[in-house]
Amino acid sequence: MPAPNEPKGPTRIALTDERRDALKHELKALFVERFDEELSDFRGDELVDFFLRRLGPAVYNQAIADARGFMLERLDDLDAEFFEPDP
Beta-carbon contacts of residue 62 (< 8 Å; ≥ 6 apart): none
CA 33 to chain centre: 23
Confidence of residue 78 (pLDDT cuts 50, 70, 90): confident
What is this structure's pTM? 0.69
Task: Give the model's pLDDT for residue 79.
Answer: 76
The pLDDT score that the predictor gives to residue 13 is 86
**Burial state string for 18-42 with b = 16 or more CB within 10 A and e = fewer than 16:** eebeebbeebbeebeeeeeeebeee
pLDDT for 9-38, tens place per residue?
567 788 999 999 999 999 999 999 999 999
pLDDT digits (tens, 9 = 90+) for 41-69: 999 999 999 999 999 999 999 999 999 99
The one-character DSSP state at 6 is P
